[in-house]
A and B are shown apart, each in its own frame.
Chain A
Amino acid sequence: ELKVEQNPLFLSMQEGKNYTIYCNYSTTSDRLYWYRQDPGKSLESLFVLLSNGAVKQEGRLMASLDTKARLSTLHITAAVHDLSATYFCAVVAGSNYKLTFGKGTLLTVNP
Chain B
Amino acid sequence: KAGVTQTPRYLIKTRGQQVTLSCSPISGHRSVSWYQQTPGQGLQFLFEYFSETQRNKGNFPGRFSGRQFSNSRSEMNVSTLELGDSALYLCASRESLRLSYNVLFFGPGTRLTVL
Contacts and interface: CB of A to CB of B under 8 A. Distances in A.
Interface stretch (A13-21, A68-76, A96-104): A96-104
A42 B104 contact: no
Contacts of A33: 103-104
B68 to A, nearest CB: 15
Interface residues of A, number: 23
Contact of B33 (A48, A97, A103): A97
Contacts, number: 55
B43 A45 contact: no
A31 B101 CA distance: 7
Contacts of B42: 101-104
B56 A101 contact: no
Interface stretch (B12-20, B75-83, B106-114): B106-114
Q: Name the prevailing secondary structure of the B interface residues.
A: strand
Contacts of B43: 88, 90, 99, 101, 104
A102 B97 CA distance: 23
Q: How large is the interface on B (under 10, 10 to 19, 20 to 34, 35 or more residues)?
A: 20 to 34
B94 A42 contact: no
Q: Name the prevailing secondary structure of the A interface residues.
A: strand
Given A45-B103, A45-B105, A101-B42, 11 more contacts: A44-B106, A50-B101, A92-B100, A95-B100, A96-B48, A97-B31, A97-B55, A97-B56, A97-B104, A98-B48, A103-B42
Interface of B: 31, 33, 35, 42-45, 48, 55-56, 58, 90, 92, 94, 97, 100-109
30 contacts: A31-B101, A33-B104, A35-B106, A42-B109, A43-B90, A43-B92, A43-B106, A45-B103, A48-B103, A88-B43, A92-B100, A96-B48, A96-B56, A97-B48, A97-B55, A97-B56, A97-B94, A97-B97, A97-B100, A97-B102, A98-B48, A99-B33, A99-B35, A99-B45, A99-B104, A100-B45, A101-B42, A101-B43, A102-B42, A104-B42
